[in-house]
Amino acid sequence: MKRNKTMHSLGRGLLSFFMNAALILFSLTCIFPIIWMGYSSLKEKRAFNADIIGLPKKPSLVNYSRILSNPDYHLSESMLNSVRTTALSIVFIIVFSFVVGYILARVSFRLNRVLYAMFLLGMLIPVHSLLVPIYVVFRNCGISNQWFTLIFPYVSFGLPMGIFLMEGYVKGIPVSLEEAAAIDGSSFSYTMWYIIMPICKPILVTIGIIQVFACWNEFSFALVLIKDVTLQTVPLALTQFRGQFASDYPKQMAAMLITMSPIVILYFAFSKQIIKGMITGAVKE
């Protein structure tokens, strides 16, 4: 009996060991690219090309100093452009998603479902098929190559996902809450902004997280709609480190680490909120 118990405990221990080892290994595969970027950015181009994975033999910050001292790279401007474009886009996406999602979930009118379906169709259209028509529209409207240009497509293409999530979330909120508010004399807009919106905070954070990453990393619209190098966003500015026949990968990695620092710091600063928001988005009670 005692022997069986020992065997059972040993089996559980071994299982736990292997499961933990597998999870640690899996975690390392996620973290390793960042670590690799970190130490590779300390290598010279030649050393990197000779040994892609190896640790730097003579670590040097020369890539960072070259990037920060060369005004042609426009990294600071591109970061500010990305921060501005992303921040404004997120504000608009959250506000519009909330209002439209709430109305579609709560107000019944004739074309409610048609309108909802139209918004959702936005998720099915491949962005690349719209690049040329959107470029032509923007050019004819005189709004291409401006500091605010990218906000329009980012908001437009962010809304379908936002509305989809918001509509579903609002539907899960008991209507009796709004009925009680109405009995107490609350107007439609007061109920929407001051009673429902605070309840929707987790899903709004989820939408915000998804869209921050989407806007920050977006490339196609930035490439086509922006001509002025001083208006480039980070993903576009990073392409400068690639040549026609050769690339300076260590310098590119150093630039990536510099430009990703705000978003990483943002993630750590709001990690609890972000994880909570992600769980909210994943599980509905």
Partner 1 sequence: MKKKVFGGLLLAAVLLAGCGGKDTGSTYQESDFSASSEGSIVYMGELEIMHYSTSEESEGNGGSDGFRTVLAQWAEAHPDITLTQNILANAEYKTQIATLAAADDLPDVFFLQGMNTIDWAKQGLIYDLTEDIKSSPYAQDYNEAYFNPFMVGDKIYGYPALTGGTCTVVIYDKAMWKEAGYDRFPSTWEEVEKAAEYFQAQGVIPVAFGNGGKWQANSCFLSTLANRYTGPDWFLSLVAKDGAAFTDPEFVSALTEMQRLFHQTDIFNVDFNAVTNEDAREYYISGDAAAFIGGNWDESYIWAMLKDSDPEKFDHMGFAVLPQPADAKMAPNSQNIGLGYAVAINAKLADDPAKLEAAIDLAEYVTGPAFANYVTANYALGGLTKAAQVDLSAFDQITQDFYNWSYVDTEECEIYDSYITNAVWDVLNTDLQTMLNGDISPEEVAANAQAAYEANYSKE
Contacts with partner 1 by CB under 8 A lie at: 46, 49-50, 67-77, 79-80, 83, 131-132, 135-136, 139, 223-224, 227-230, 236, 239-248, 251, 258-259, 261-262, 265-266, 268-270
Nearer to partner 1, 14 or 264 (CB): 264
Nearer to partner 1, 131 or 197 (CB): 131
Least distance between partner 1 and beta carbon 153 (Å): 14
How far is C-alpha 132 from the geometric centre of its chain's CA atoms? Answer: 25
Q: How many CA atoms lie within 13 A of 231 on its CB side?
A: 16
Spatial separation of the C-alpha atoms in residues 11 and 42, rounded to whole Å? 45
84: closest CA among 177, 153, 173, 151? 151
Spatial separation of the C-alpha atoms in residues 204 and 213, rounded to whole Å? 14
255: closest CA among 98, 69, 64, 95? 64
Least distance between partner 1 and beta carbon 165 (Å): 25
Least distance between partner 1 and beta carbon 45 (Å): 9
3-state secondary structure of 242: strand
Least distance between partner 1 and beta carbon 172 (Å): 29
Q: Which amino acid is at 158?
A: G
Nearer to partner 1, 43 or 106 (CB): 43
Q: Are 159 and 122 in contact (CB under 8 A)?
A: yes
Q: Are 89 and 151 in contact (CB under 8 A)?
A: yes
Phi-psi domain of 185 (left: phi exceeds 0; alpha: psi -120 through 50; beta: other): left
Q: Which residues, 6+ apart, have CB-to-CB distance to 48 below 8 Å?
A: 40, 249, 250
Least distance between partner 1 and beta carbon 52 (Å): 8
Nearer to partner 1, 16 or 70 (CB): 70
Nearer to partner 1, 20 or 230 (CB): 230
Least distance between partner 1 and beta carbon 41 (Å): 14
Nearer to partner 1, 223 or 278 (CB): 223
Nearer to partner 1, 105 or 238 (CB): 238
Q: Which residues, 6+ apart, have CB-to-CB distance to 214 below 8 Å?
A: 154, 157, 158
Least distance between partner 1 and beta carbon 99 (Å): 28
